[in-house]
Structures are given as structure tokens and as C-alpha cells.
Amino acid sequence: MSGDTQQTAAQYIQHHLQNMTYGKFPEGHDLAGQWGLAHDAAEAKAMGFMAIHVDTMFWSIFLGALFLFLFKKVANTATSGVPGGMQNFVEMIVEFVDSSVKSTFTGRNPFVAPMALTIFVWVFLINFMDLMPVDWIPGAVGWMGHQFFGMDPHHVYFKVVPSTDPNATFGMALSVFMLTLFYSFKQKGLIGFVGELTLHPFSSNNIVLKLAFIPINFVLEFVALIAKPLSLSLRLYGNMFAGEMIFILIALMYGGGWIAGIFGGFMQLGWAIFHILIITLQAYIFMTLTIVYMDLAYQTNEDH
């Protein structure tokens, strides 16, 4: 907690930025060769690539399942008469996403609209966890770890915002990237896709110049291609990480006395209200860029 005298401000911040990491302890560790939860950032790093961020996986799966459950429930109980509040809300989101797809995606693919809807709602729910008080859930998990497993609460880590974990944002962005590559190959074929990377943006009717432009075009187009998943993931991660950091810094004020606590409370309220716009905007941007990338996958050379 922010008022815990056993933790300095730096330790408090580091604790809230550390994921609950499960992996295999490396050679040289007392538990070498065994699998378990890391006790600090150094152990988490030493576990390497195969380690799993338990908190990120839990919240991502839970919120994805929550989205499916709520929308499926509304679909099963939908009425053509006077709709209830939840049905109105879901219909509003569906119509909003559908209009975004129709205005951006020029191809014909029934998969794009459901994917856009899933991305928008799922990313919004993931981002919405940033509005939870920073100490509540991690504190509860730390208390349970101490009560039931005898663990030091300061060594129990539990982040509640998956989008502040670059592994989550990169995973989503790479999934979108692989889909765009798949549909690019499907629509254009290997020759068309290679031509897209090598014959644009510079071209010439002169065969010598055309061949000379190929490596230049490839470098430019390849960089642009790789930049798509990087920008998609880093934009979401950077904005959400910054927002979470501000909430953590504000929470530190609660340990500085009642005057600082009251001031921190007003700051937290103001930032939370503003942050509602940020989490919604980031979900919309992620969805819109996904639609744009899918549309680019359907464009032929003549469309460029």
C-alpha cells in the first residue's frame, strides 16, 4: 500500500509495475530446474522467453470471456419490441463498429466486422481496468498470498491492466499483422504481394531504372510493413503505461498526510474522468487501424 512504511516510493512503484511471472528457475538458483513464481524483477527476467505473465493472461482471458458472455446473453434475449437498456447499449456499439467498417473497408469479407467489434470491446475492457484503484486488487492478492501460502505480500505481484504489458499489446498487434499477411497473399498471390513490395513507390518504364528501383522500393515497403505491428502495439502500450504510471504517482500522495491525500483524491478523480476518453480513444484507434490494414490487404497494385 502507498502508506506502508516498509516500502519506499521507488519500491512501491516497482512493485506495481511488476507482473506476476511464472516460469522455470535458471541454473544457479536455489530452485534451479523447477517451475514457480518469480519473487522479483531479476528472477522474472532470468526465467527468459518461456515465462508466463499470469496476471496478463488471467485478465485478458477473463475480460474476453466477459465480452462474449454479455453480448451472447443480449443476442439470446433480444426483442423486436421495446429494447432494454443493455440491448440498446449493445446495438449502439454494433452499429458504431459496423458504420466504421463500411466507411473504411472497401473489400468484401464477413470476418472483418466481427473482428473489429471484438477488438474494440475487448481492448476497451482491458483498458478500463486502468480505472480500478491501483491498490485494491494487488493488495487483495497480496493478502491472499500471505494468508494462504505464507508469502511476503511485497513479493506478490499482480498487475490488473493487460495493455500496460507490451507482451499483450504485441501479441494482439502480431495477430492482426498475420491476418493482414494472410489476406494479402490470398487476394494478390505471391507474385502480386512481392510486386507490391518491390515495384512501389518508385517505378519507371525504363527496364534498367525499374530494376534499380527494386531494392530501394523493397527497403521502403518492408520498413512500412514492419512498422504496422510495431506502431499498433507501442501506441496502445505507451498510452496505457503512462496513464497507469500517473495513477500510481497520485496514489503515493495518500501516504503523505491528510492534506496531500485530499489533494491526491481530487487529482485522481480528475485524471480518471479524463482517462475515460483515453481508454475509449485507444480502443477506437486500435480497431480503426486494424480495419485500415485489412483494407490495404485487399488493394491491388492499381489501387495504390
**Is 239 considered catalytic here?**
yes
CA dihedral 167, 170, 171, 173 (to 10 degrees): 160
Catalytic member of 109, 175, 203, 235: 235
Are 295 and 104 in contact by the 8 Å Cβ rule? The answer is: yes
State the Cα–Cα distance between residues 2 and 259, nearest whole angstrom. 15
Q: How far apart are CA 299 and CA 304, in angstroms?
A: 7
Quick one: 292 exposed, middle or buried, by C-beta within 10 A (0-12, 13-18, 19+)?
Answer: middle
| Known active-site residue 76 | no
Cβ distance 116 to 100 under 8 Å? yes
Check if 206 is active-site: no
**CB 105 within 8 Å of CB 294:** yes
Please tell me what DSSP assigns to residue 53. E
Long-range contacts of 107-112 (CB under 8 A, 24+ apart): 107/187, 107/294, 107/295, 107/297, 107/298, 109/183, 109/294, 109/298, 112/291, 112/294
Query: Annotated catalytic residue: which of 88, 99, 103, 231?
Result: 231
Question: How many whole angstroms separate alpha carbon 279 and alpha carbon 103?
Answer: 23
Q: Which residues are catalytic?
A: 231, 235, 239
